[in-house]
């Protein structure tokens, strides 16, 4: 349990604004999460033809024990998984975001991180990136399909640091933050069960450890912007993101990428 778990809806925005994150237990219907989990489990086999290191829909991470480069993420995912789309647009979730924003939210980005056993985590970073169209109201909702905890490498957030805005140069590049940017004693592991959600902002520093358990950590990362902050920008975001990824791969000599 974290301090914000039991907050009344009206207090959630205060906590989110103050801490840069909020956890809400049991928000999403069990039936919806079970349907989406079953669909998620079947996705890599069902769309095996999409799982390629050349396909920029896919993200890969090393296995920390074997060194094997392992498929880890579909980004985007809602066009492959109707049940994930239902989670992203669930009325309970949109109502929570409406409370946090003080107005409607628009889906901006959607990914499913599978994080199989052994797979590496992410270094400390903020999601907000200085691209022309990147909304400052960007936030991410975590919706797990199975328990996420320290052992399988749950996401860890650092409260309060979002108030400093961007902690990296605003040069349009992705930056990992030095570990000493945050006080490790302040770390909040987002330990979640299916139905729970955690919401954190684009300026909230976060990271995750490797999955050292024998379990998967399948979790939706659903990102939104306030409708008042640019309206529906999902298509524009993916156009910009794909162009950026292709440029990055090309810098490393990889010019045979595609999106499918």
Ligand X SMILES: O=C(O)CCC(=O)C(=O)O
> Should residue 127 be labelled a site residue for ligand X when binding is judged by CB under 6 A?
yes
What residues numbered 225-254 form the site for ligand X, per CB under 6 A?
Answer: none
The two three-digit tokens of residue 83, written as one number = 């049940």
Instruction: Report in angstroms how near the CB of residue 242 gets to ligand X at its nearest.
Output: 16
DSSP codes of every residue in 191-231: -B-BTBEEEEETTS-EEE----SSS---EEEEEEEETTTTS
> Should residue 155 be labelled a site residue for ligand X when binding is judged by CB under 6 A?
yes
- Please report, to the nearest 10 degrees, the dihedral formed by the alpha carbons of residues 106, 111, 115, 120 taken in order: -90
Q: What does the H/E/C string look like for 123-170?
A: CCECCCCCCCCCCCCCEEEEEECCCECCCCCCEEECCCHHHHCCCCCC
* 13 or 120: CB nearest ligand X: 120
Instruction: Report in angstroms how near the CB of residue 149 gets to ligand X at its nearest.
Output: 12
Instruction: Report in angstroms how near the CB of residue 216 gets to ligand X at its nearest.
Output: 12
* 137 or 208: CB nearest ligand X: 208
Instruction: Report in angstroms how near the CB of residue 134 gets to ligand X at its nearest.
Output: 13
Size of interface with ligand X, in residues (CB under 6 A)? 7
Q: Are 219 and 148 in contact (CB under 8 A)?
A: yes
> Should residue 208 be labelled a site residue for ligand X when binding is judged by CB under 6 A?
yes
> Should residue 221 be labelled a site residue for ligand X when binding is judged by CB under 6 A?
yes
Q: Are 125 and 167 in contact (CB under 8 A)?
A: no
φ, ψ at 179 (rounded to 5°): -55, -30
Place of tokens 């999409």: 50
How many other C-beta atoms can be found within 10 angstroms of the C-beta atom of residue 125? 17
Instruction: Report in angstroms how near the CB of residue 190 gets to ligand X at its nearest.
Output: 8
3-state secondary structure of 21: strand
Indicate the residue whose CB is closest to ligand X: 208
**Residue of 122, 244, 249, 259 that binds ligand X (CB under 6 A):** 122
Instruction: Report in angstroms how near the CB of residue 137 gets to ligand X at its nearest.
Output: 17
> Should residue 113 be labelled a site residue for ligand X when binding is judged by CB under 6 A?
yes
What residues numbered 12-71 form the site for ligand X, per CB under 6 A?
Answer: none
User: Which residues of the shown chain bind ligand X in the complex (CB under 6 A)?
Assistant: 113, 122, 127, 155, 206, 208, 221
């Amino acid at each position: 349990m974290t301090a914000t778990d039991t907050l009344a809806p009206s207090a959630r925005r205060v906590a989110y604004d103050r801490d840069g994150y909020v956890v809400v237990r049991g928000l999403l219907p069990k039936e919806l999460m079970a349907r989406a989990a079953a669909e998620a489990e079947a996705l890599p086999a069902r769309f095996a033809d999409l799982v390629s290191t050349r396909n920029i829909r896919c993200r890969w991470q090393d296995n920390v024990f074997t060194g094997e480069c392992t498929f880890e993420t579909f980004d985007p995912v809602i066009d492959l998984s109707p049940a994930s789309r239902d989670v992203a647009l669930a009325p309970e979730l949109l109502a929570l975001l409406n409370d946090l924003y003080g107005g409607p939210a628009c889906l901006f980005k959607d990914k499913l991180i599978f994080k199989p056993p052994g797979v590496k985590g992410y270094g400390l970073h903020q999601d907000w990136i200085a691209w022309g169209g990147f909304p400052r109201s960007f936030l991410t909702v975590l919706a797990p399909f199975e328990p996420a905890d320290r052992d399988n490498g749950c996401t860890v957030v650092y409260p309060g640091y979002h108030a400093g805005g961007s902690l990296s140069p605003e040069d349009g590049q992705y930056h990992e933050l030095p570990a000493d940017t945050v006080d490790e004693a302040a770390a909040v592991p987002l330990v979640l069960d299916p139905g729970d959600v955690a919401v954190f902002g684009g300026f909230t520093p976060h990271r995750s450890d490797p999955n050292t358990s024998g379990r998967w950590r399948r979790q939706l990362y659903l990102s939104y912007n306030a409708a008042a902050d640019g309206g529906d920008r999902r298509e524009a975001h993916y156009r910009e993101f794909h162009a950026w990824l292709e440029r990055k791969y090309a810098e490393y000599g990889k010019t045979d990428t595609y999106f499918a």
